[in-house]
Amino acid sequence: MTALFPNTDLRLIDEIATTAGTPFYLYDASVLRGRLDALRAALPQVDFFYSLKSNPNLSVTRVLHGHGAGCEVSSLLELETSLQAGATPERILMVGPGKSETELVRAIELGIKAIVVESAHELTQIDALARQQGRVQNIALRVNPDFHAGGAKLNMSGRPTQFGIDQSELPDVLKQAESCAHLQLCGLHAYMGTRILTHETVVANVGNILNLATEVVSSLKAPLDFVDVGGGFGIPYYDGETELDLDALGQAVTPLVQSFGATHPKTRVVIELGRYLSGPSGQFVTRVQQTKSSKGEHFAVCDGGSNVHVAAAGQGFLRKNFPIRLLRDGKAEIDDEAAQPWTLTGPLCTPQDVIGKSVLMATPQVGDLISIGQSGAYGPTASPVNFLGFGAPAEVMIDGTELRLVRSRDTVEARLAVQQPSDLRLAAHANPSTSHAPAALADLYSSATGNGLEGTPFSDPCLERLTGLQTLFRETGARLDRDPESWTALWENPTVRALTTIGVPEKFNGFPLRDSGLGISDCPYGLHVAMVERLARFDANCILSLPGPSLSGGAVLATGTDAQIARFFDGYRFGPQGTFFAVTEPDAGSDASNGRSTLGLKDGKLVLNGVKTLVGGIARADIGLFFAHIEETGRMGLVMIAPSDAPDCVKIERLGTNGLRGADLCQMTLTDFPVTQDMILGSGGRSLRDGFMAINGVFERNRPMVAAMALGSGRGLIELMLEDPTRLPAYQDLLASHTALLVQLVKVIRAQENRRPKVQDISKVKMQAVSFVDQVVRRITDQDPMRFLQDAELRRRCRDVKAFEYMEGTSNIHLLNAYRSYTAGVDQ
């Protein structure tokens, strides 16, 4: 029998109540992982998906996905939650009888594992939307079978229902699906019912569904990728209920799965579970506010009731009690002699607000805590949290020794803020020239893959899969403005991790692209530039905050020994590694030949001295390169240093900036930093010219990245403005300019790939990109000054793009080289 309450220190619950307030939910991550482990042990050949509807908390989802579960979603928020939790599109299923067009479009953009189709009409709708995007979308058909589940507390199939396609209609729908050019049938789905506690019922369901799948597959031209046999595993809530016998279930279901697999080796059996995974992990804690007796019945009025835990209130089924205990001073009060029946209520003005009826317990006192077990599923998000204005409760997670607030309590201010009135522009009153703005906007967006961009990196399908990072980048970008350490939220995402380590040699890369869900195993230079442009649409701040190899990694690969390459890149086997490329000095700019940093002898030993100003997270960097004059030879040298090797010789100060704070501008001062010969790249014997020639390609390949960031930032600002489609006419010319500049950038990329880069062309497109984003900012402030003043994100991102002007500053040695090349008429 599974414990009805997680094994949590009761004193800790008391401390959480004091710190976070009540009511709150407390989830135990170890229980979540343990439930999934037990399922895998019993059913090793089954692929498990977590149904977010039971508890869509981001941290709960992250724990289960991080432990190997896929995600089954039923709304746009659940879809975005799955992505933020780290799920790749290939591990997401979307279900639901009434999916909106917005939800379907997003799912198709991402290319999720499958959209589960619930009707013939939805089949036609998804095909049309996929055709508009030029995609082929995987689908599964949900079947409402002729059989039903006898042991389910709530039957959802085998009867008249809004869910799925009747089995009798399945042959016609299969023919329809075959005729849809933009759909690929890859799965079958059936969900019989919920809260099943007898393993015999589950076994019968699985057998019936697999038999149905065998019948369906016989009429198909290709095998299915998966058969989703539903789930519905229950957990015991009430007296007399027993835990589902997982061992017996596994012993009976495994032969069915093996037999099906023997005849359908390419088809995986999937089970989706929500309550079974999340329910036992959680407990609900509320505080007693008042006690009273009325007409012979004892009442304890608590600060949380059916408004935040409707399942415990029993609405929708027979009123019974969840597991309940009284907590006082960090202990569970158990006093059988003094125990009396108590009715536990919430604070609502309705007699239905009862979360425990006739609960036998010691006499509660004001301030005591009431804990309700088995509460990790269908809690706050399934409850009327806004009734009477109390709002959603706090949610807390314990994970080993870590304790985190994973959802803040609703505040009065936030709930009032979303009710402030704003103008509603009705379609009937729209200007005729803009009444079809959404369609026109879609046409303009799709034009980015035309006008010379077809077949280029900017039309690569994997770029659309980056869209799932948009919310993460926008939210993290705002946090970076306040705290440069917020970059860690980006690193937690597996796709971002893989993007961060592009350029790391394969043998050192612990986070390869093939594990990212982007559908690629390597990233050519042109695609890398295109990815930077796409991500900059979301927030360029985030790109600059990521701890990748950047310029320094390219320089090490160009000039370093095998040992130096290994030393520089080895950290990427296990986690993030910040790097830096220290060239710019406060008085000399980025022309290294004018720098004053020196590598010389002191007491017979090599030491490095100098001051550098640089971006890229130097305050958190692990290793990097430092340009300096070698006093003995008078030549320039690149020295690989790890600040942690001699912390007393390094001083790093963060500098204030007016934009792109994620880049984390810092000043590094080295004082007698000890150096050995094996830290000097290229032995330090090259001339300045030879040294620059050795890494010139690294610089020239990086500069189009800056152009891409500028172009993406400008496009992102336009897209922010076009959240109101009526603004389209004011920005249509800028969208066209953006596309035209991408065409020019493609030419630069191709020249790089053909090893014939022209410095003047690189500088030209970079300066044009900077000019473009400046035009966008001016247009916004001229055309929409009120939106600019009212929208904090818009103001921040407009401010950030001004920093690109610094990146093309006249002190930049590459701009000087480009000027020299242009005036001499010589390609470099």
Which residues are annotated as catalytic? 349
Q: Report the helix count and the strand count for the chain, using DSSP H and E.
A: 27, 29
CA 580 to the chain's CA centroid: 26
- The DSSP string of 205-242 is HHHHHHHHHHHHHTT-SS--SEEEEEE-B----STT--
**Cis amide bond preceding 23, omega within 30:** yes
Closest CA relative to residue 467, chosen from 797, 109, 132: 109
Distance CA 344, CA 341 (A): 10
CA 585 to the chain's CA centroid: 37
What phi and psi, each to the nearest 5 degrees, are found at residue 635? -100, 170
Q: Which residue has the tokens 């800790």?
A: 12
Q: Which residue has the tokens 């020249």?
A: 751
| β-bridge mates for residue 115, sequence order | 94, 139
In the chain, the amino acid numbered 465 is R
Distance CA 59, CA 81 (A): 9
Structure token pair of residue 637: 């040298």
Structure token pair of residue 243: 């835990």
Distance CA 99, CA 115 (A): 10
Distance CA 443, CA 132 (A): 10
- The DSSP string of 693-751 is HHHHHHHHHHHHHHHHHHHHHHHHHHHHHTTSGGGHHHHHHHHHHHHHHHHHHHHHHHH
Q: Which residue has the tokens 């039309």?
A: 459
Distance CA 776, CA 537 (A): 13
Q: Report strand pairing: 666-674 vs 650-654.
A: antiparallel
Q: How many CA atoms lie within 13 A of 383 on its CB side?
A: 32
Q: How many CA atoms lie within 13 A of 775 on its CB side?
A: 17
| β-bridge mates for residue 226, sequence order | 187, 268
Answer yes or no: are the C-beta atoms of 195 and 275 closer than 8 Å: yes
Q: Which residue has the tokens 């000027």?
A: 819
Distance CA 105, CA 134 (A): 12
Query: Helix 101-110 vs helix 120-133: angle between axes, to the nearest 10 degrees?
Result: 50
In the chain, the amino acid numbered 503 is G
CB neighbourhood size of 19 (10 A): 12
Structure token pair of residue 122: 């939805």
Distance CA 47, CA 92 (A): 12
| β-bridge mates for residue 403, sequence order | 398
b/e code 321-350 from CB counts within 10 Å (16+ = b): bbbbbbbbeeeebeeeeeeeebbbbbbbee
Query: Helix 120-133 vs helix 170-179: angle between axes, to the nearest 10 degrees?
Result: 10
Q: Which residue has the tokens 């009273």?
A: 292
Answer yes or no: are the C-beta atoms of 388 and 19 closer than 8 Å: no
Which 3-state string (H, E, C) describes 250-305? HHHHHHHHHHHHHHCCCCEEEEEECHHHHHHHEEEEEEEEEEEEECCEEEEEECCC
Torsion of the alpha carbons at 713, 714, 716 and 721, rounded to the nearest 10: 150
SS3 content of the chain, % helix, strand, coil (to 5): 45, 20, 35
